[in-house]
């Protein structure tokens, strides 16, 4: 079924334009609230947000929607997405909402929804809510309108929960860490956690003004982090994205470490201590072939899901795995969280560094990545992947790569883009295959 509002990670778009208007946000609150009015208890929703200017507008509209259908609202203020998921269960809420467009620029915003179990909603729940957006709202009588209150210690609750995931017998004393919070939702909590654990901290991206989220900082702009790590002589650099569900690391030499290498370390270290479940790690079709080969060598399986952390989590729950993630830095550790958590993943990396005594450059490059290239082709409608010329180019590319490579072509779930990725042992061949398929898609589009 074609969706009008929900994409791969909630609803997202440019603020003050459909679907990211106050009117639609209010309808989402009404539809989602009515959908989760189950049982005769007093119903409540928790709402967190990142630091975007439009967050105030979207928050107020959602409050109006939820209270109008009889739900009480608990406002958390700026809070990482995983913190919202955690507090949804902790506060016995029926639904959790995160107002964020993650790594996008400030002009965008989004709405992510969590069920009472702290997990992102199923496709069926999202479809039901979307269908209700066009129906008359189920407004309650005046005496049953919900109330709203702000919880002042929400950040402290998340800080405590995050610290509890770090081994109690370890400290970060003597470790110099650069942490980049993207001027986003973790600008207070991430530095607090690391400082309280003893780190010598250099914090950047911690002065949000409503319009500078992800602007030259954070996991999608890590160049400044790498330079700062080298300039400060730091042991490691940590970069989060706007809502702090994503992590990218820089070693002490200023070299970037992506989600694949982080999964390699966590998977191998958890295996060594006997806590890896399911005998495997879940990654997506975009993760590097080098990660798969590394896991094969050390006896760990690799399951591949569709792109999107919700699909990673679905496969983790199906296969019984407790470690999963994406190359982009979404890392899900279900021993500690119900969704990707950049800060908690960073604490696992730091624990491994402290325990081993090795440098970041020694510990965080466990395999040599295969040459991999990803390009995007924008299109203005239609179905370019169904064109015969595109199908022929894909078939030819697969034949050229052979058994030593992979080809992944998919439509973006959040933008009008066709993503073309190839990897193999020959860098030049990978480039030629990607370019030929992109050319074919561009012609069809």
Contact of 51 with 187, CB cutoff 8 Å = yes
DSSP for 33-73 reads HHHT--SSSPPEEEEEE-S-TTHHHHHHHHHHHHHHTT-EE
**Cβ-Cβ contacts under 8 Å for 410 (sequence gap 6 or more):** 285, 307, 418, 419
Which helix (H) or strand (E) segment is 410 a member of?
A: strand 406-411
Q: How many CA atoms lie within 13 A of 405 on its CB side?
A: 24
Contact of 199 with 152, CB cutoff 8 Å = no
* CA nearest neighbour of 112 among 337, 102, 315, 273: 102
Stated length of the chain = 445
Rounded CA-CA distance 243/96 in Å is 15
- 164 phi/psi in degrees, rounded to 5: -65, -15
Is cis: bond before 19, omega within 30 of 0? yes
18 is catalytic: no
Q: How many CA atoms lie within 13 A of 244 on its CB side?
A: 33
Rounded CA-CA distance 279/299 in Å is 8
DSSP for 118-152 reads SSBPPHHHHHHHHHHTTSPP-PPPGGG---EEE-T
Q: Point out the catalytic residue in the list 100, 102, 269, 287.
A: 102
Q: Name the residues annotated as catalytic.
A: 102
């Amino acid at each position: 079924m074609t969706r009008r509002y929900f994409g791969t990670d909630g609803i997202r778009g440019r603020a003050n334009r459909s679907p990211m208007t106050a009117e639609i946000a209010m309808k989402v609150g009404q539809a989602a609230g009515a959908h989760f009015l189950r049982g005769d208890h007093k119903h409540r929703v928790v709402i967190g947000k990142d630091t975007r200017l439009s967050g105030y507008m979207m928050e107020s509209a959602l409050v109006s929607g939820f209270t109008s259908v009889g739900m009480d609202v608990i406002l958390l203020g700026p809070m990482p997405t995983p913190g919202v998921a955690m507090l949804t269960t902790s506060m016995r809420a029926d639904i959790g909402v995160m107002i964020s467009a993650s790594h996008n620029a400030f002009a965008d915003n989004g709405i992510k929804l969590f069920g009472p179990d702290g997990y992102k909603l199923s496709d069926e729940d999202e479809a039901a809510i979307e269908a209700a957006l066009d129906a008359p709202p189920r407004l309650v009588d005046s005496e049953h309108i919900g109330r709203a209150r702000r919880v002042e210690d929400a950040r402290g609750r998340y800080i405590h929960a995050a610290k509890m995931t770090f081994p109690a017998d370890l400290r970060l004393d003597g470790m110099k860490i650069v942490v980049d919070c993207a001027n986003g939702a973790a600008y207070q909590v991430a530095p607090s956690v690391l400082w309280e654990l003893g780190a010598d901290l250099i914090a950047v991206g911690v002065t949000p003004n409503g319009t500078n989220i992800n602007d030259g900082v954070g996991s999608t702009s890590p160049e400044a982090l790498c330079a700062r790590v080298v300039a400060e002589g730091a042991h490691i650099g940590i970069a989060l994205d706007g809502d702090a569900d994503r992590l990218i690391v820089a070693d002490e030499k200023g070299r970037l470490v992506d989600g694949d290498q982080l999964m390699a370390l966590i998977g191998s270290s958890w295996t060594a201590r006997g806590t890896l479940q399911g005998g495997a790690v879940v990654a997506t079709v975009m993760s590097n072939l080098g990660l798969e080969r590394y896991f094969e060598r050390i006896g760990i399986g690799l399951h591949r899901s569709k792109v999107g952390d919700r699909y990673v989590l679905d496969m983790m729950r199906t296969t019984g795995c407790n470690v999963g993630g994406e190359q982009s830095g979404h890392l899900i550790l279900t021993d500690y969280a119900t969704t990707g958590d950049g800060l908690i993943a960073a604490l696992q990396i730091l624990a491994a560094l402290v325990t081993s005594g090795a440098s970041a450059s020694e510990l965080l490059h466990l395999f040599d990545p295969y040459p991999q290239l990803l390009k995007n082709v924008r299109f203005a409608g239609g179905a370019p992947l169904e064109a015969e010329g595109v199908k022929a180019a894909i078939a030819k590319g697969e034949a050229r790569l052979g058994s030593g490579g992979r080809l992944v072509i998919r439509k973006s779930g959040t933008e009008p883009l066709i993503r073309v990725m190839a990897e193999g042992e020959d860098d030049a061949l990978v480039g030629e295959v990607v370019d030929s398929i992109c050319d074919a898609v561009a012609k069809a589009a």
